Structure 1
Amino acid sequence: MKIGIISRNASLYSTSRLVDAGRRRGHVVRVLDPLRCYMRISRGKFDMHYKGRPLAGFDAVIPRIGSSVTFYGTAVLRQFEMMGVYTPNSSDAVLRARDKLRSLQMLAREGIDLPRTVFGDYPDDTVDLLQMLGDPPHVIKLNEGTQGQGVLLAEKRSSSQGMIEAFRGLYANFVVQEFIGEAGGGDLRCFVVGNEVAAAMHRQAPEGDFRANLHRGGKASKVELSEEERSVALRAAAILNLGIAGVDLLRSRRGPLVLEVNASPGLEGIEQATGLDLAGSIIAEVEAGFARLSMA
């Protein structure tokens, strides 16, 4: 197979691991910077060029699209789809996952439990909005933030109102959620590949912080999931139609809660914590998905 990795940086751990895993399995693998891809759209015909030359002959592409290039990156991915190229995560699925509010709405509709969440725009409604949510602490989260950026904890209702006003002053889209204190500053990253949870790790926030993201100094360790946690992670990825996903869960008194679903989950932390070859698992899933598409 000829596989493209849509990534802005070939030296990133996740990108280089996918390249190595694909080549070890006998595939031709090429990293494609989405910002250097450009396309022509005409009736019944879709073409793509890269750095002055046509892009053709790809069997599959694996998107590793950063949040800063979501619009253009998903446009490139969609063009590949229009050209008949297989991808485990479609452009629409990536967009659904990248929009925290939309993904939470979809998950809640299908019966997935999650931290209580409120969303509103008009300043005069802030007091009633927070009453709908309940007592603080509250977590205020940018709608398209990643790696713990744009996530704040408000201990008091007045702090929540002040942070909300500040985000509105920046014309930012955000959600406000209940704080799950019993999680103890930890969460679970469930790495979904196809129809299974291929790996899971527990992430613990550093002292004095509540964000367990590894990019914020969190510590990772291998963890055994309960059957309920495994089922919730698989359902969440399926609802968003993601073949590759990082599903973040909180352990709460009422059971596992989905915090968010990531369409481009990083490999470094979880491969190191578990010792598993997740890059190889992803390539194997791409092989199986391409085979299914070829037989359809």
Structure 2
Amino acid sequence: MKAALISMGSKSSQMTLQAMKKYFDSVEGIDLRNMEVMVGGKGLSILYNGKPLQKYDGIYAKGSFRYAPLLRSITTAFYDTTYMPLKPNSFTLGHDKLLTHLAMQRNKIPMPDTYIVSSRAAAKKILNQVNYPVILKFPQGTQGKGVMFAESFAAASSMLDAIETLKNPFLIQEYIETEGSDIRAIVIGDKVAASMKRKAVFGEKRANIHAGGKGEPIVLDVHTKKIAVNAAKAIGAEICAIDILETVKGPEVIEANLSPGLQGITAATKIDVADKIAKYLYERTKEFVEKGKTTETSKLFTDLSIKGGAEQQIVSNLDFRSDRILLPKIVTNITKFDEGQEVVIKAQKGKVTLEKP
């Protein structure tokens, strides 16, 4: 099977790419920055370095929030014919904190009280009502960037001056004291593949590894794992990171990351997360391909009024390639033999049969 990893070429992406090569017959790393989408009356055309992107059995596409529209376009073009762990709308939901929180709320995922505001005046009203400290967040941003901590109304008000210049909605979120720690869970399918507790460095409120935070392994209870998996499902992602706070009310989700770094959690947990991702991609791609074959064969049976599993008689003229007999395509579809598969061939004059051993 053929697979492609579309990414920005980060260290984590390279780790995943190398792991995928252990499972797939062919794997290509594709630089997202060299891709283009052509939209026309005949549909979407995806170009890579100016040429049409070839067909793959599976595509794992991920990248910065800045490329969310491009990622959504690419995955939309291939979603029906290629296995992809991230649905097209994942990039819209997962790369925008406003939409992420709305998706979490809609799916009843526990999270801190969060206000979405679009103007200084609206923000002032909220800031006059909330308890301090509070967190202010920009809609986009990763690695803890765009997250501000305000200890008082005065501090929050001064931050509004900078935020207002962007003319974009932003978040005001309840601050929950966790002594500068949070939990990062890597969700792969219906399981949490790895999890670590991140602890912020002295004087820093953000626990992100990229902000200097330190990670240590942690075993999550069943309830927290379920919340992480459900949060990933809420944004349509089979592979992502979910960040969680441990509160007196229980675990609460604060963010989702569609393109998480793997070095920190791999070092902290000693779990080969890249390999787990690669193996999952292979298994899901295989399921997708086999399901496609079954669907195609079922449609063929229906079109020909053939009952699946029943022996059929086909009348056809023999087709030779050099000195070899080439069977009709319909025989391949009905028997479901794969290339390279071992079979028992019985032959005598005027008769030949093929069977699985």
What's the TM-score once normalised by structure 2's chain length? 0.77
Q: Kindly state the Cα deviation for residue 178 of structure 1 after the two structures are TM-superposed.
A: 0.9
Are 1:25 and 2:23 counterparts? yes
Selected match of 1:238 from 233, 236, 241: 233
Supply the distance in 2 between the matched residues of 1:249 and 1:119 (Cα, whole angstroms). Answer: 20
Partner of 1:136: 132
Partner of 1:47: 45
Supply the distance in 2 between the matched residues of 1:102 and 1:170 (Cα, whole angstroms). Answer: 18
Q: More deviation in 22-31 or 44-53? A: 44-53
The answer to whether the 8 A contact 1:39-1:79 is kept is: no
Aligned length: 291
Q: Show structure 1 runs of 4+ deviating over 3 A.
A: 39-47
Q: Kindly state the Cα deviation for residue 6 of structure 1 after the two structures are TM-superposed.
A: 0.9
Q: Kindly state the Cα deviation for residue 33 of structure 1 after the two structures are TM-superposed.
A: 1.4
Q: Kindly state the Cα deviation for residue 89 of structure 1 after the two structures are TM-superposed.
A: 0.6
For 1:47, give the aligned amino acid: S
Q: What are the equivalent positions in structure 2 for 1:139-158 lying under 5 Å apart?
A: 139-158=135-154
Aligned with 1:65: secondary structure? coil
Q: Kindly state the Cα deviation for residue 277 of structure 1 after the two structures are TM-superposed.
A: 1.5
Q: Kindly state the Cα deviation for residue 16 of structure 1 after the two structures are TM-superposed.
A: 1.1
Q: Kindly state the Cα deviation for residue 131 of structure 1 after the two structures are TM-superposed.
A: 4.0
What's the TM-score once normalised by structure 1's chain length? 0.92
Larger Rg: 2
Selected match of 2:257 from 231, 254, 262: 262
Higher relative contact order (CA 8 A, sep 6+): 1
Q: More deviation in 58-67 or 187-196? A: 58-67
Supply the distance in 2 between the matched residues of 1:124 and 1:52 (Cα, whole angstroms). Answer: 47
Q: Kindly state the Cα deviation for residue 240 of structure 1 after the two structures are TM-superposed.
A: 1.4
Counting aligned pairs with the same residue, the percent is 29
Gaps of 5+ in 1: none
Q: Kindly state the Cα deviation for residue 45 of structure 1 after the two structures are TM-superposed.
A: 4.9
Selected match of 1:91 from 88, 92, 95: 88
Partner of 2:101: 104
Partner of 2:243: 248
Larger fraction in helix = 1
Q: What are the equivalent positions in structure 2 for 1:109-124 lying under 5 Å apart?
A: 109-124=106-121
Supply the distance in 1 between the matched residues of 2:199 and 2:58 (Cα, whole angstroms). Answer: 35
Cα distance, 1:26–1:128 mapped onto 2, change above 3 Å:
closer
The answer to whether the 8 A contact 1:34-1:76 is kept is: no
Q: What are the equivalent positions in structure 2 for 1:1-296 lying under 5 Å apart?
A: 1-9=1-9, 12-43=10-41, 45-81=43-79, 84-132=81-129, 134-181=130-177, 183-294=178-289, 295=291
